[in-house]
Amino acid sequence: MTAAHRSRTVWVLGDQLNGNLGALKTASPGRDRVLLVESWRKLTSKRWHVQRAHLVVTAMRRFAAELMADGFEVDIRRADTLADGVAAHRRDHAPSEVVAMEPASWDGRQLLYRLGVTIVRSDQFLCHYDDFGEWARGRRLLKMEDFYRWQRRRLGYLMDGDEPAGGRWNFDHDNRERPPKGDASWPQPVTTALDDVDRQVLADLPATVWGDPPDGVWATSRSEALRRLDHAIAEVLPRFGPHEDAMLSNSWHLAHTLLSPYLNLGLLQPKEVCDAAEAAYRDGRVPIASAEGFIRQVIGWREYVWGVYWRSMPDYRDCNELAAERSLPPLFTTGETRMRCVHHALADVRAHGWTHHIQRLMLLGNLALLAGVRPAELVEWMWASFVDGAEWVMLPNVVGMVLYADGGQMATKPYAAGGAYVDKMSDYCKGCVYDRTQRSGPTACPLTTLYWDFFDRHADRFARNPRVVQQVRAGQRLADLPAVRRRAIEVLALLDSGEL
């Protein structure tokens, strides 16, 4: 058979599960074959949360079945590595060429180059990283807010002519309310009963996975993801804004949309979720602060971190500006700690493979920042533990936002917080064995102690930062600074031994 008569293969990676993306968009059942590879080495490369591993593999298998129902010949195979899977496919089917959409990760793109795969430009984001590069060219600071406004104007979301809808670009200030008093009822997540496909995938996973097994919260097909989107727009979004930053011990999701895994796997596309949010605002079903807050996360933060990732790789992986050299403390893997706030966040991760933004940034990330945990170790843990994890989103969020490890390229100040912040934004401190108002002594809140110790340790650096110079000066004036330093040494020792 000549190459012209052989069919082409479209290789679909595990986070590109949508017929409306890349090479699949123009593929036809008569002409093209589809390849999906389940890599065993990838599945065993990290200590994946079981719900994360289950979600990706199940979604791949369901997507393969949908493509078959559409008439495609699909080769879904398990191989040791992705390269082995492609090589075996080439041996078995001798395609004229193998085509794939650009992967979301640096290593993935390098692999495709090595394998001689024809690469189609990614259309999984509203702003390709080349366009982000154009936007960033010549700018000294890559401010998210500037990028976001550029995106708003370019894409036309929440615009009334040349002006932002509601008269303001950003309603973030309205979205930082404390948790509501009393028992608020939060919209319950949509669930789907597990079926034989789920059970087979669970049986096929390696023994290295950890965490509570899937309970049907995470959708594994496009139709179920669309059902989650409808629910998010109708039930969650109207309440999304004001309590976006609040943390409560009796609700793991509050009014968060829980859409990130679908956006990251291709089951949903950013345009359709923003279109739905805009329509709900225009119909009067969602207030402007909530619609704006949500659209800012998707066309702003999400696309911004994707652009920062590609602009900064591969060196971004090695950033460690604050010379943080502590190993990941044992509590991240055991979940055991007497700090009530951290305990709750880790219990949520175990139960769902998910915690919301503020728990990631201001509890787990904050603890790692204050304690000086090696950036690569926190990236690895979060990437493996969250259902929506991926290197492109984890590196900027952890290295840039949480740990200030890129020296302020992304965040203009370190997001350091003590017990006062946690107490303001949550109900965790009541009932904790530690006292959030104490910074020294055996019952002092560890976050409060480490907060002051952090600014003391890094005083030289941050005294030059106008956004935190006040904290540095306040720390230097503390009458009990020697006692805080002594307690910080004890706290770090307890953290390392798993007894905090």
Chain residues binding ligand FAD by CB under 6 A are 256-260, 263-264, 294, 297-298, 301-302, 305, 356-357, 360-361, 365, 382, 386, 388-390, 393-394, 397-398, 401-402
Amino acid, res. 258: L
What is the spatial distance between Cα 318 and Cα 240, in angstroms, rounded to a whole number? Answer: 36
Nearest approach in angstroms of CB 69 to ligand FAD is 28
What is the spatial distance between Cα 487 and Cα 483, in angstroms, rounded to a whole number? Answer: 6
Answer with the entry of ligand SF4, ligand FAD, none that 224 interacts with (C-beta below 5 to 8 A by kind): none
Is there binding between residue 487 and ligand SF4 (CB under 6 A)? no
Answer with the entry of ligand FAD, ligand SF4, none that 384 interacts with (C-beta below 5 to 8 A by kind): none
What is the spatial distance between Cα 81 and Cα 304, in angstroms, rounded to a whole number? Answer: 31
Answer with the entry of ligand FAD, ligand SF4, none that 74 interacts with (C-beta below 5 to 8 A by kind): none
Q: Which of 125, 171, 383, 428 binds ligand SF4 (CB under 6 A)?
A: 428
Is there binding between residue 500 and ligand SF4 (CB under 6 A)? no
CB 23 within 8 A of CB 115: no
Q: What angle do CA 466, 467, 469 make, to 5 degrees?
A: 60
Is there binding between residue 341 and ligand SF4 (CB under 6 A)? yes
Q: Which of 53, 286, 370, 422 binds ligand SF4 (CB under 6 A)?
A: 422
- Which residue's CB is nearer to ligand FAD, number 85 or number 293? 293
Is there binding between residue 233 and ligand SF4 (CB under 6 A)? no
Distances (CA, A) of 452 to 192, 361, 427, 445: 46, 18, 22, 11
Residue 326 forms beta bridges with which residues? 373
- Which residue's CB is nearer to ligand SF4, number 244 or number 423? 423
CB 105 within 8 A of CB 391: yes
Is there binding between residue 340 and ligand SF4 (CB under 6 A)? yes
What is the spatial distance between Cα 74 and Cα 64, in angstroms, rounded to a whole number? Answer: 7
Q: What angle do CA 494, 496, 500 make, to 5 degrees?
A: 35
- Which residue's CB is nearer to ligand FAD, number 176 or number 485? 176
- Which of the 8 DSSP states describes residue 166? G
3-state SS, residue 79: strand
Q: Which helix (H) or strand (E) holds 164?
A: strand 163-164
**Which of these segments, 44-52, 166-174, 338-346, 389-397, binds ligand SF4 (CB under 6 A)?**
338-346
* Tokens read off for 349: 């991760």
- Which residue's CB is nearer to ligand FAD, number 100 or number 399? 399
What is the spatial distance between Cα 152 and Cα 448, in angstroms, rounded to a whole number? Answer: 39
**Which of these segments, 92-100, 373-381, 443-451, 481-489, binds ligand SF4 (CB under 6 A)?**
443-451
Is there binding between residue 445 and ligand SF4 (CB under 6 A)? yes
Which residues form the interface with ligand SF4 (CB under 6 A)? Answer: 339-341, 419, 422-423, 428-429, 432, 434, 436, 445-447
